[in-house]
């Protein structure tokens, strides 16, 4: 099994040793033993705190700052491992999906999330789901606002196809955040350490040259590819010249590959949450006469995935009685028949209680992000359907 396709230039990343690293990754938790599993369960904290804790917390702060995601954003944690990053992201109120080829890692991740004391905020619970699967088998399309690969990309052997699959899962305008080690110099101590780890555990430890990583992101179809250097720490103002030299060196030669890139946005899509609502016909009484029914087709005309359900942040159809002052008298919500990616449509039967609309002239129909906002708040136009013709 080779790490590099023949049609790509060599030298972009450290080669594997030819081992069955997929199976080695699956069995990693078993092979590290009880002490290693304890570390996985408590990562990134340890006694005493070391470099990895600082690296994890700094990078988590960069992810939150740079991606600037809203409440219940859909986030894919690729190669989630024991779920420490998924846990942190879920505690931010994001809707997290973690994937890892190792069932042992996924088991630990699920247990970590189950241990979170709920709620994490007023009316908000931490939401995360985990799946044990190879990254090339990700089933989602146009779902996620962001995909994060923290110290994971070097485990995947077909880098371009891996990135193509991840890009397919991103909503239009969705971004990928990669944090990776830089390929060490040949015959260096860093290279020897990676080779020793591959020999010991059978895993693939194959980091990238910076230029090569940027090139394969472009080949996979990502746009607006940018590399960053982290400048974290306290700086001695009494030694400003020396400190500025250190900063300049880090900008010129970042020790890590930190890259953000975007999925292309089709010109016809509106930004964010936007719906096209098309009522069909007029309000009709149901057979028992207790409700009025209307068939409504709803199209996701924005860039953002709509999760179905009743959780905080799920999208529902919200009929209401409009007031002259702009107020709303809310009527029973209608769940979406299924989740909708950008560009998809569904048809739903909207029903309202007849006593609740007696004397009203019309019923407004909008979409609702449960416990967050009506789509009209984002500038998406609701539909207004008159009641005069209802029996």
Tens-digit pLDDT profile for residues 159-174: 999 999 999 999 999 9
Q: Given a cut of 50, is residue 7 above it in pLDDT?
A: no
Structure tokens at 318: 């919200």
Q: Which residues pair with 299 in a beta bridge?
A: 276, 345
Q: Given a cut of 80, is residue 33 above it in pLDDT?
A: yes
Q: Given a cut of 90, is residue 2 above it in pLDDT?
A: no
Average pLDDT over residues 289-318: 96
pLDDT more than 90, % of the chain: 78
Residue 235: CB partners within 8 Å, gap ≥ 6?
A: 243, 247
Structure tokens at 145: 């606002």
Structure tokens at 44: 């990134």
Average pLDDT over residues 294-322: 96
Q: Which residues pair with 76 in a beta bridge?
A: 97, 147
Q: What is the structure's pLDDT at 14?
A: 82
Q: Given a cut of 70, is residue 4 above it in pLDDT?
A: no
C-alpha atoms less than 13 angstroms from C-alpha of 335 in its C-beta half-sphere: 10
pLDDT tier at 3, thresholds 50, 70, 90: very low
Q: What is the structure's pLDDT at 127?
A: 96
- Where do runs of H (alpha helix) occur along the chain? 21-26, 28-42, 51-67, 84-91, 103-114, 159-169, 189-201, 210-219, 240-252, 354-357
Exposure class string for 266-305: b at 16+ Cβ within 10 A, else e = eeebbeebbbebebeeebeeeeeeebbebebebbbbbbbb
Q: What is the structure's pLDDT at 5?
A: 33
Q: What is the structure's pLDDT at 389?
A: 59
Q: Alpha-carbon distance 207 to 188, whole Å?
A: 14
N-terminal to C-terminal alpha carbon distance within the chain: 70
pLDDT tens, position by position, 308-318: 999 999 999 99
Q: What angle do CA 120, 123, 127 make, to 5 degrees?
A: 55
Residue 78: CB partners within 8 Å, gap ≥ 6?
A: 99, 135, 147, 148, 149, 152, 166
Contact (Cβ atoms closer than 8 angstroms) between residue 168 and residue 261? no
Burial (CB count <10 Å: 0-12, 13-18, 19+), residue 183: buried
Q: What is the structure's pLDDT at 273?
A: 95
Average pLDDT over residues 33-39: 92
pLDDT tier at 391, thresholds 50, 70, 90: low
Q: Which pTM does this prediction carry?
A: 0.92
Q: What is the structure's pLDDT at 229?
A: 95
Q: What is the structure's pLDDT at 10?
A: 43
Average pLDDT over residues 193-198: 89
Of 30-44, 107-121, 131-145, minimum mean pLDDT range: 30-44
Reply yes or no: is the peptide bond before residue 44 cis, omega within 30 of 0: yes
Residue 223: CB partners within 8 Å, gap ≥ 6?
A: 261, 262, 263, 264
Return the DSSP state at 123: T
Contact (Cβ atoms closer than 8 angstroms) between residue 108 and residue 82? yes
Structure tokens at 214: 């940027």
Q: Given a cut of 50, is residue 1 above it in pLDDT?
A: no
Q: What is the structure's pLDDT at 19?
A: 79
Contact (Cβ atoms closer than 8 angstroms) between residue 124 and residue 312? yes
Of 4-8, 99-103, 131-135, 188-192, minimum mean pLDDT range: 4-8
To the nearest whole number, what is the mean pLDDT of the chain? 92
């Amino acid at each position: 099994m080779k790490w590099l396709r023949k049609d790509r230039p060599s030298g972009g990343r450290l080669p594997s040793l030819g081992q069955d690293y997929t199976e080695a990754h699956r069995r990693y938790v078993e092979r590290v033993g009880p002490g290693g599993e304890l570390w996985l369960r408590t990562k990134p904290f340890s006694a005493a705190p070391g470099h990895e804790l600082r690296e994890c917390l700094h990078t988590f702060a960069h992810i939150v700052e740079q991606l600037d995601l809203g409440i219940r954003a859909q986030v894919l944690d690729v190669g989630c491992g024991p779920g420490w990053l998924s846990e942190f992201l879920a505690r931010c109120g994001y809707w997290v999906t973690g994937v890892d080829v190792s069932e042992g890692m996924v088991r630990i991740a699920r247990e970590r999330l189950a241990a979170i004391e709920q709620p994490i905020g007023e009316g908000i619970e931490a939401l995360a789901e985990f799946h044990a699967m190879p990254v090339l088998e990700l089933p989602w399309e146009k779902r996620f606002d962001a995909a994060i690969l923290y110290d994971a990309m070097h485990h995947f052997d077909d880098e371009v196809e891996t990135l193509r699959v991840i890009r397919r899962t991103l909503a239009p305008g969705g971004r990928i955040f990669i944090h990776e080690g830089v390929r060490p110099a040949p015959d260096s101590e860093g290279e020897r350490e990676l080779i020793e780890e591959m020999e010991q555990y059978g895993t693939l430890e194959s980091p990238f040259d910076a230029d090569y990583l940027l090139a394969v992101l472009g080949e996979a179809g990502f746009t607006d590819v940018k590399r960053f250097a982290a400048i974290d720490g306290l700086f001695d103002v009494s030694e400003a010249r020396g400190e500025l030299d250190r900063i300049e060196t880090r900008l010129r030669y970042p020790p890590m590959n930190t890259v953000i890139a975007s999925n292309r946005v089709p010109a016809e899509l509106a930004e964010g949450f936007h719906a096209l609502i098309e009522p069909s016909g007029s309000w009709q009484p149901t057979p028992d006469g207790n409700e009025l029914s209307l068939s409504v087709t709803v199209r996701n005309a924005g860039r953002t995935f709509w999760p179905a359900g009743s959780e905080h942040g799920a999208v529902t159809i919200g009929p209401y009685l409009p007031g002259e002052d702009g107020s709303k008298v809310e009527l029973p919500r209608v769940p979406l028949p299924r989740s909708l990616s950008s560009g998809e449509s569904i048809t739903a039967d909207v029903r309202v209680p007849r006593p609740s609309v007696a004397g009203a002239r019309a019923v407004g129909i909008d979409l609702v992000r449960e416990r967050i906002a009506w789509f009209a708040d984002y500038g998406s136009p609701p539909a207004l359907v008159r009641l005069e013709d209802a029996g």
